Structure 1
Amino acid sequence: MSTGSGADSAPAPTSTHESKPGGTFSSLKIRNYRLFATGAVISNTGTWMSRITQDWLVLSLTGSATAVGITTALQFLPMLLFGLYGGVIADRLPKRKLLLVSQAALGLCGLALAALTLSGVVQVWHVYLIAFLLGMVTVVDNPARQSFVSEMVGPAQLRNAVSLNSANFQSARLIGPAVAGVLITTVGSGWAFMFNGLSFGAPLIGLLLMRTSELHKAVVVPRAKGQLREGLRYVSGRPELIWPIVLVGFVGTFGFNFPIWLTAFADEIFHGGAGMYSFFNILMAAGSLAGALLAARRRSSRLRMLVAAGTVFGLLEIIASMSPYVWLFAILLLPIGMIGLTTNISANTSVQMAADPAMRGRVMSLYMMVFAGGTPVGAPIVGWISDTYGVRTAMAVGGTFSMFAALGVGFMLARVGGLRIKVDLRPGHPHVRFVPREQLATAA
């Protein structure tokens, strides 16, 4: 266990391999990031097991897609209400220590739901309450975890590490639903929740074993008045930040309601039960994993790619919503997962690389608040549309919103002062910024 003074007083590492991008898995050369990634894949597997089991448990208790939507909404409602304050906290405190507290709290929530389910007393309001508590912890955990990546790997490896984080998450998504499906049908939902709670021991061990002297020096912002407003002003004046955030807000609110759609397609449309629902999630994860690995090989982050991916993502959802055959619907989940993850990674990396380090916690909290915090708005709406007009209509509506949002953001990016994207990936200070069209040649 490290006994150093912490990430925020540590000098930047001097080893050359940590500053040179290259290769799909180049970030894994860094010891601290390997520990982080190893712990994450274990806890992410538990998280996916819990998500699948939670959605199926709520559907079993209530028989309502709206109830599934409410559960999802409650888990993300705190991000909508308090997300920006989480970013202020992440900028003020050492992120490694903050993550030790938040990851332990997430594990305790998982163990509480396991105890309720295994004892046979679980009711839907218990699930609602724990979903809300998970959301409260995530308010701080998300911006701290997102911005801590740059402390582990440095700016030159940031895109690769963000992509590998997504690949890590999607790899767990391949395993978690499959294991959850087996556990639900054999020993019951409680054991899936139990594994999730215990799985958070892995990232806690990884954080404790990190060498704080090898972390890149972080900026800790002293406590002061007006830091929340300062962050909002900072983002609002930069098109390279505001438009990716706007796009992921629409996509997150209306296009990423897969817990509602996949449960309803598996249960109501194709009559396949929990096993089919798990299979649908595995296919989504396989496509997402492919998208993450492809993104890890790219060395630039282009907003044109973000707009194109968002447009195609929405169009694919519309097509899938009309699929009359289970095999066709299943096949379409692969590119939906791949393009959806490409949209997320492109936006996430563009925003992180364009944000000043002293503002990164607040910027990423706004990003996550818009992306995940839109779910409390979108999930009940989509759930109601699904119950009232059918899941096919609900999924088509989500895809339509995503597609037109991407087209609208692309139109605005083309109009904003004739700006064009300039990407600089020189070691030490990579960034994404906008430059006037007439200056593009000299800026290159």
Structure 2
Amino acid sequence: MSDEPISEACAPESTGYLRLFKIREFRAVFLAYAFSLLGIVVSEVALTVLVYGLTGSPLLSALTFALGMLPYLVGGALLSGIADRYPPRRVLVACDVLCAGCAALMALPATPVFGLLALRCAIAVVSPVFNGTRMATLTDILGDGDLFVLGRSLLRIVSQSSVLVGFGLGGVLLTVVPPRGALLITMCTFVASALLLRYGTKRRPARGSDGSALMKYSLSGARQVLGDRRIRALLLLLWAPPMFMVAPEALAAPYADEIGVGVAGVGLLMCALPVGTIAGELYAGSALSATTRARIVLPLASLTLLPLTVYAVTPGLLPAMLALALAGAGSAYTLGLDRWFVDAVPEALRGRAMTVHTAGLMTIQGVGMALAGLAAEFFAVSTVVTAAGVLGTVCCAALAAEVRATRRHRTTGGEPVGVRERATELRDGADHHVTGG
């Protein structure tokens, strides 16, 4: 079977996500992602248990999770140039091998707690480079049209599903093997990912380099990404809803206590948002045309946080779960926005732009969690979540207006953005009609 992307028009028997699995390289990327995600989930659970067992400190145990998020900003800002400067397959395989080596060192009985935390930090620094390179590689494999949007969506669905089942499976695993043994499993998953990417994807040249030092090249890319009004507006609209949406998740335990539903209620509250997200993305990706997904981006992004305002009346468990599921379903706006983002970013900048996107998304969610926790020290949880819904809706509406305004500006190629996007939407709509939608 050919490695080349399969166009929608060439696959009349397949619609939605099924088209993706006809492409051999995407199958390799998908399986590699599943393996690496499994490794990350297992390592987080195992490290938390291991560090707590060695120190008896809840603070250090919790720090293992924080160290999985905080270094994203460093890696995204200072190392993003790797994604464009070197051949993408080499970068992906090297990142997996490095992560496998870190996991192997963690599994050694002689590795102290400080070493465990440092190695966890090293994996987190590498992660944005790996994720950004993989996102950019998807455009090489799937093109920058509707197949790319569906591919990104499917990987997000897998990631959200891991929230629902991954940590439970990790806990079950630790009843069978010790934490350091689980870390050896993590090492194997990274090795499996590296092999899939090495032998399942084609070698492609680097996207470009200006010959400057890596750090300068990376920072220059970040400045270009954030300095472009159109790209900046799209990035902020991709980041803003998740920043506010983490508030009810971060405060699920105190809210369950506030309404008196106990520990079981905490789990249900934390599951509601990812369930809604998965349902919304599956529906948008399989039932809506590319044209329709583009039309609903700005209205949906503006309203996705509005269901959180139901917390103003301190709802019980079921109404709160429904509100969270509705808010999660609104995340389907990202399918259309992903397409606009790829269209706006020059190909030579794509790897760095994707890395900045990944790093910013993780960092801003961490900031959102911290701010929600801080606010909950002074106000009731229901008040904090309501405020997140109100402020988030105002911010998203303002950003949606900015995204709409930037359509009038010209791209680097000299073609008006609005015209370019409309032509793309019409083309995809035609392709979708041919395949039966």
- The interval holding the TM-score normalised by the smaller chain is 0.7 to 0.9
Contact 1:42 1:202 (8 Å CA) reproduced: yes
Q: Which of 378, 385, 391 is matched with 2:375 structurally?
A: 385
Aligned to 1:434: none
1:37-116 correspondence to structure 2 within 5 Å: 37-48=30-41, 73-109=66-102
Q: Which of 296, 320, 327 is matched with 1:336 structurally?
A: 327
Q: Which of 140, 151, 164 is matched with 2:129 structurally?
A: 140
Aligned to 1:221: 209
Q: Does 2:297 correspond to 1:310?
A: no
1:174 partner amino acid? L
* CA spacing shift, 1:391–1:418, aligned 2, 3 Å: same
Aligned to 1:292: 281
1:331 partner amino acid? L
Moved more, 202-211 or 184-193: 184-193
1:350-404 C-alpha deviation (Å, 9 max, x unpaired) = 2123212111012112222322222443332222223443443443343333212
Aligned to 2:388: 398
In the TM superposition, residue 301 of structure 1 has moved relative to its aligned partner by 8.2
1:138 partner amino acid? S
- Aligned-residue RMSD, C-alpha: 4.2
In the TM superposition, residue 76 of structure 1 has moved relative to its aligned partner by 2.8
In the TM superposition, residue 244 of structure 1 has moved relative to its aligned partner by 1.5
Q: Which of 21, 36, 43 is matched with 1:28 structurally?
A: 21
User: Matches of 2:313 and 2:128 in 1, distance apart?
Assistant: 36
Contact 1:303 1:346 (8 Å CA) reproduced: yes
1:259-298 correspondence to structure 2 within 5 Å: 260-265=250-255, 270=260, 272-273=262-263, 277-297=266-286, 298=289
Identical aligned residues as a percent = 20
Q: Which of 381, 387, 408 is matched with 2:398 structurally?
A: 408
In the TM superposition, residue 207 of structure 1 has moved relative to its aligned partner by 1.0
Q: Does 2:352 correspond to 1:362?
A: yes
2:309 partner amino acid? I
* CA spacing shift, 1:49–1:13, aligned 2, 3 Å: closer
1:224 partner amino acid? S
1:102-132 C-alpha deviation (Å, 9 max, x unpaired) = 223334555666678xx9x997x77764553
SS in structure 1 at match of 2:33: helix
* CA spacing shift, 1:276–1:230, aligned 2, 3 Å: same
In the TM superposition, residue 339 of structure 1 has moved relative to its aligned partner by 1.9
User: Matches of 1:413 and 1:103 in 2, distance apart?
Assistant: 36
1:175 partner amino acid? V
Aligned to 1:435: none
Contact 1:266 1:272 (8 Å CA) reproduced: yes
Aligned to 2:432: none
Contact 1:253 1:372 (8 Å CA) reproduced: no
Question: Mind listing any 5+ residue stretches in structure 2 that lack a counterpart?
Answer: 410-416, 429-437
SS in structure 1 at match of 2:80: helix
SS in structure 2 at match of 1:308: helix
Contact 1:248 1:370 (8 Å CA) reproduced: no
User: Matches of 1:54 and 1:314 in 2, distance apart?
Assistant: 33
Aligned to 1:436: none
Contact 2:88 2:206 (8 Å CA) reproduced: no
Q: Alignment length, in residue pairs?
A: 408
Question: Mind listing any 5+ residue stretches in structure 1 that lack a counterpart?
Answer: 1-11, 431-444
User: Matches of 1:329 and 1:57 in 2, distance apart?
Assistant: 34
Contact 2:208 2:348 (8 Å CA) reproduced: yes
1:262-310 C-alpha deviation (Å, 9 max, x unpaired) = 344457755643x655544444333222222234334248666333333
User: Matches of 1:364 and 1:292 in 2, distance apart?
Assistant: 20
Contact 1:73 1:375 (8 Å CA) reproduced: no
Aligned to 2:434: none
1:325 partner amino acid? G
User: Matches of 2:406 and 2:121 in 1, distance apart?
Assistant: 39
- When the two structures are superposed, what TM-score results if normalisation uses the length of structure 2? 0.75
In the TM superposition, residue 206 of structure 1 has moved relative to its aligned partner by 1.2
